[in-house]
Amino acid sequence: MNIVDFTWYYILGSLFVLTVLVYVHEWGHYWVARRNGVRVDVFSIGFGPEIYGWTNEAGTRWKISAIPLGGYVKMFGEEDLLDDSGEEREFTEEEKKVSFHHKTLTQRTAIVFAGPAVNFLFAVALFAGLAMIVGTPTPYAGIGEVMVPSAAAEAGLETGDTIISIDGQEVEWFEDLRQIVSANPGVALKLMVRRAGSETVLRATPETVTEANQDGQMVTIGRLGVRPDPEQVLYERENPITAVWLGITRTIAVTENILSYVGDLIIGDRDTDDLGGPIRIAQISGEMAQAGLPSLFFFMAMLSVNLGLINLFPIPMLDGGHLLFFAAEAVRGRPLGPKTQEYGFRFGLVLVLILVVFVTWNDLVRL
């Protein structure tokens, strides 16, 4: 593949991923707004000048704009109305019926929350679809990576090895390997290994480590220091009910991992090297596109969870910032003053711009 083809993978892959995810997010706002009688003036994929667009029967201008880094839904009533002389005027009764700001607090909250909510639902659908069509991967007891230093490295295990048995106990799946090793910390184990078509015997003593289990209890386990081989995997297709449940649990797991990472960032246990921006998204999108549609859709599901969760952060300019203002309105019994909201949105805009610059710089340094 030449450099031109390679570059097109990145460009087209990232445009496809971002366009779909932005559409899904904004469609959530749009759909709930229309269900609540709000008139939607604009549905835009991207920002800046319009490249292509059309107006539907409901009066919504659907358009694709020049800068494909997001999108927006503009609802009637989000801005003040001006008369012919440029002075602010009052809403008529008919206009109030289709105005966003004249809807109840519950309706406005539902409209704003719908965008992130649909991102989570979309992730569930993608994960479930992959489980039904492609299948869920169950790795064989193949070695994809040997950590250094580790008990596996000391024993002489190599990438590409397949463990057949441990102390005479047959091993087929990587989970079998994990369970036996975990139950034998500090115990010398006899490994029967298949390597390059022949079999050999190695001896390994799993490292003794203490860590928290799923219930939060500290337990002592053995650790070999290997990761499964992605080439030695069995894919099993799931029925629709199981697939949907897997979609839900995977979406929850990704959400928990993101929140855990953010928490570690806040307390200083993790650095910011893993934060990525548009360039990083384009890079991974291109790699996933080359790997095939299942990989690309899996990445889209992961990114959809990220988009939904980030939009719920209580930062003005994001959906979470609007929800924060609505929460204050519920407590006070009336909306925050225009000046307070204006300063809040200005602060949010500066914060978002700083974050965009930072993650873009991270991307450039990584490149």
How deeply is 290 buried, as exposed, middle or buried, from its count of CB atoms within 10 A (0-12, 13-18, 19+)?
Answer: middle
CA distance 146 to 281: 28
Across the strands, what pairs with 236?
136
Tell me which of 26, 93, 94, 207 is the catalytic residue.
26
From the list 112, 91, 80, 159, the residue with the least C-alpha distance to 321 is 112
In the block, tokens 């959530």 appear at 28
> What is the Rg, in whole angstroms, of the alpha carbon atoms belonging to the chain?
26
Cα angle 126-240-23, degrees, rounded to a multiple of 5: 25
Is residue 78 annotated as part of the catalytic site, yes or no?
no
In the block, tokens 């169950």 appear at 138
Identify the DSSP state of 185: T
Give me the count of residues in the chain. 367
10, 283 Cβ separation under 8 angstroms: yes
CA distance 35 to 77: 16
245, 328 Cβ separation under 8 angstroms: no
Backbone angles phi and psi of 68, in degrees to 5: -85, 55
CA distance 226 to 201: 17
CA distance 304 to 138: 24
74, 40 Cβ separation under 8 angstroms: yes
228, 136 Cβ separation under 8 angstroms: no
From the list 259, 353, 346, 269, the residue with the least C-alpha distance to 308 is 259
- Angstrom CA distances, 159 to 2, 43, 152, 223, stand at 30, 51, 10, 17
Across the strands, what pairs with 211?
219
Active-site residues, by number, are 26
